[in-house]
Amino acid sequence: MDARRLILGDWTPLVRDGIDVLRIGLVVATLVALVAGNVGGALALGFATVLALLARIINLPRPYDAGFVLVLTLHAVGEALGWYDSISWFDRVVHVVLPCLVAPVLYIGLARLDVLPDPRDETHARHYTGMAIVVFCLGMAVGGLWEIVEFTSDGTFDTALSEGNSDTVGDLVADAVGSLLGALLLVAWAVWGWGSVRRITGVNTYEDADA
């Protein structure tokens, strides 16, 4: 195995690269949390594992695949280890990073379903603007839905996910920053003409825009 393949992946059909190793790590962490009796952590890790496996099936471009799995891992591990409570700034960081990386992935997923234009499609400035607006709105939708989940959970199960109005507004501001960064990231991706699927190392020099 040469250095290029070692770094970029396509090692074997089962374990393609380091991103798949991270997916395996999520599976192991979920089982460990279950054995340890950390039900909440196991649920968070299990949900992250499912999403990470779905991302593998979708065959995302490597940078987005890696970013998506990493941010899922960050969130799930933070939930399992109680970092949201023990580290004051952790929640804000996740609220920036998560929409930044998840919103473009949602856009790419919708593009793969032909609901939205593929990032590689021939486009103009107004289309880049539309793409940025859609990605921003997707990120804010994810953030807003999560705040609804927190509010509902606190009222129904007497949890303490939300720490009040200031916390909610702060989270939404962080979501807005992350969504904007994600929008700019995908526009840059589109300007460079990169598609929505994973490249095969050493085979397709130009990334195919079709699945």
Report d(CA 127, CA 138) in Å as an integer: 16
Instruction: Check whether residue 57 and residue 141 sit in a common domain.
Output: no
Q: Which of 14, 29, 63 is the last residue of a domain?
A: 63
Q: Is residue 83 in a domain? A: no
Q: Which tokens belong to 127?
A: 């289309």
pLDDT of the residue at 29? 97
User: How confident is the model over 64-76, as a mean pLDDT?
Assistant: 96
Q: How confident is the model over 126-145, as pLDDT tens digits?
A: 999 999 999 999 999 999 99
Instruction: Check whether residue 52 and residue 99 sit in a common domain.
Output: no
pLDDT at 73 over 50: yes
Contact between residue 194 and residue 61 where contact means Cβ atoms under 8 Å apart: yes
Closest listed residue to residue 137, CA positions, set 166, 170, 115, 104:
104
How sure is the predictor about 206, in pLDDT bands with cuts at 50, 70 and 90?
Answer: very low
What is the number of domains present in the chain?
2
Contact between residue 106 and residue 141 where contact means Cβ atoms under 8 Å apart: no
Instruction: Check whether residue 47 and residue 94 sit in a common domain.
Output: no
SS (H, E, C) 139-150: HHHHHHHHHHHH
How sure is the predictor about 205, in pLDDT bands with cuts at 50, 70 and 90?
Answer: very low
* Domain range enclosing 54: 1-63
Instruction: Check whether residue 47 and residue 95 sit in a common domain.
Output: no
Reduce the DSSP state of residue 93 to 3 states and report it.
helix
